[in-house]
Amino acid sequence: MSVAQTGRRIRGWKPLALTAAAVLLGITLPTAAASPAVATTTAYDDTYYQDAIGKTGPALKDSLHTIISDQTRISYSAVWNALKATDQDPNNSNNVILLYTGTSRSKSLNGGSTGNWNREHVWAQSHGDFGTSAGPGTDLHHLRPEDVQINSIRGNKDFDNGGSAVSGAAGNYTDSNSFEPRDAVKGDVARMILYMAVRYEGDDSWADLEPNDSVSNGSSPYHGRLSVLKQWNDEDPPSAFEENRNEIIYDTYQHNRNPFIDHPEWVEAIW
Ligand SMILES: [Ca+2]
Ligand SMILES: [Ca+2]
Ligand SMILES: [Ca+2]
């Protein structure tokens, strides 16, 4: 990890005040601002993303929507086994990694009881009320294994910085209207939300899902908070784990990709 990466993970970092103090003391500080996102891979630019390359703004969003809407839909019951593949612990093939807690738990503990993991909808199901029939409610690109109780604490809250520490999920914070995931998955959450916004445009039987800057979206088909999600996309670039699950979803299950994992810089190009 670079010095810059370490610097931006400090909570409550006040770059301007610290910079001023450092100048007085003659100290060189690490850069506080996250670097702008850059492509993770260009392997699909000449094929899968051919029609999107070179575009920006609404034209890029439209093009990506067409590309990623060509997909196989899976049933909600099939999501269990899919998550056991997409979110397998790289160090223990009997386990999955839980999104918010970051812990490794037996694949066989899927269910609805205390100590189980279940199917977390990162784009909250109620935001657009899409339920669990094959469609946005079963789209693996935003579904992750999570501890039953932590999933319940997250509920249908929008994402934002701030709040009190979540008991049992180190590095996560929540208050009455928002949830802040741990640093290592902040970018994952942002890219999942923004995938949903591009994939679902209201031209099928589902609502047009869109990001906004609110933390009180309730059952409206919106998810916040866009300004914070954009920061998280820069602060937490795609990891090998995130890239691997994108490949498994593409190769084995849905045959579509999350463009923001391959090209996180497209977040800024669209929003
Ligand atoms: Ca809040
Ligand atoms: Ca990450
Ligand atoms: Ca949309």
Give residue 256 CA to ligand 3 midpoint distance, Å: 16
pLDDT at 20: 53
Measured torsion, CA atoms of residues 193, 240, 254, 54, in degrees rounded to the nearest 10: 70
CA dist., res. 23 & res. 63, Å (int): 47
- Any domain includes 8: no
Is position 27 within any domain? no
pLDDT at 34: 82
Looking at residue 28, what is its pLDDT?
A: 54
Residue 2 inside a domain? The answer is no
Please tell me the total count of domains within the chain: 1
Cα atoms in the 13 Å half-sphere on the side-chain side of 269 = 21
Counting as low any pLDDT under 50, the low residues of the chain are 1-16, 18-19, 22
pLDDT number for residue 15: 46
Within a domain: residue 12? Answer: no
Neighbours of ion ligand 3 (CB under 5 A): 197, 201, 208-210
Question: Measured in angstroms, how far is the CA atom of residue 35 from the centroid of ligand 2?
Answer: 15
Domain assignment present for 29:
no
Q: Which ligand is nearest to the CA of 68?
A: 3
Q: Please tell me the pTM assigned to this model.
A: 0.89
What's the confidence (pLDDT) of residue 31?
A: 52
The verdict on residue 132 lying in a domain is yes
Domain contains 221: yes
Contacts of residue 17, defined as CB under 8 A and 6 or more positions apart, other chains included, come to none
74 found inside a domain: yes
**Domain residue limits at 254:** 37-270
Torsion sign across C-alpha atoms 120, 124, 125, 130? negative
- CA 22 to centroid of ligand 2, rounded, Å: 30
Instruction: Identify which ligand lies nearest to the alpha carbon of 164.
Output: 1
Q: From the CA of 215, how far away is ligand 1's center (Å)?
A: 7
